[in-house]
Amino acid sequence: MRVYRKLKQNWEFHRAYNRGVALVAPEYVLYVCKGKKGELRLGITAGKKIGTAVSRNRAKRVITAAFDQCAPHIPTGHDCVVVARTRILSTKSNVVAANMMRQLKKQDLWVE
């Protein structure tokens, strides 16, 4: 069950890059900032460095599955942008979700 909306506009991504805090993992970089709306929103980017379209789509699916596990515990009113890195292609979504959970807890963005 999805409890978040998708970011679609370029300026929303740039706002997260400039104002958000960057949480770096080997598989991704997560930018989190306060959103203008009172809802949780997610944006995913996977550049051409990741590989072909099939690889980029797999990376997006892994990130989406990991974020689905973490989303109920993230407080509303935040925008999250996840930038895929090449290591995500050889990683399972539950490993990515565990990394994401650890980083969000470290930043006090995790609600039990």
CATH number of the domain enclosing 24: 3.30.230.10
Question: Residue 9 belongs to what domain range?
Answer: 5-106
Residue 38's pLDDT is 86
Domain assignment of residue 59, yes or no: yes
Say if 112 falls within a structural domain: no
What is the rounded distance in angstroms from the CA atom of residue 44 to the CA atom of residue 30? 9
Residue-wise pLDDT tens digits, 28-65: 999 999 988 789 999 999 999 999 999 999 999 999 99
Alpha-carbon span 37 to 79, nearest angstrom:
9
* Structural domain count, the chain: 1
What is the token pair recorded at 4? 């978040």
The predicted-structure confidence for 74-107, as pLDDT tens digits, reads as follows 988 999 999 999 999 999 999 999 999 999 999 9
What is the structure's pLDDT at 112?
81
pLDDT of residue 2: 63
Strands (E), 3-110: 5-6, 21-24, 28-34, 41-45, 78-84
The span from the CA of 32 to the CA of 50, in Å, is 22
Closest CA to 70 of 101, 92, 94, 91: 101
Whether 111 is in a domain gets the answer no
Q: Is the pLDDT of residue 1 over 80?
A: no
Residue 99 lies in a domain: yes
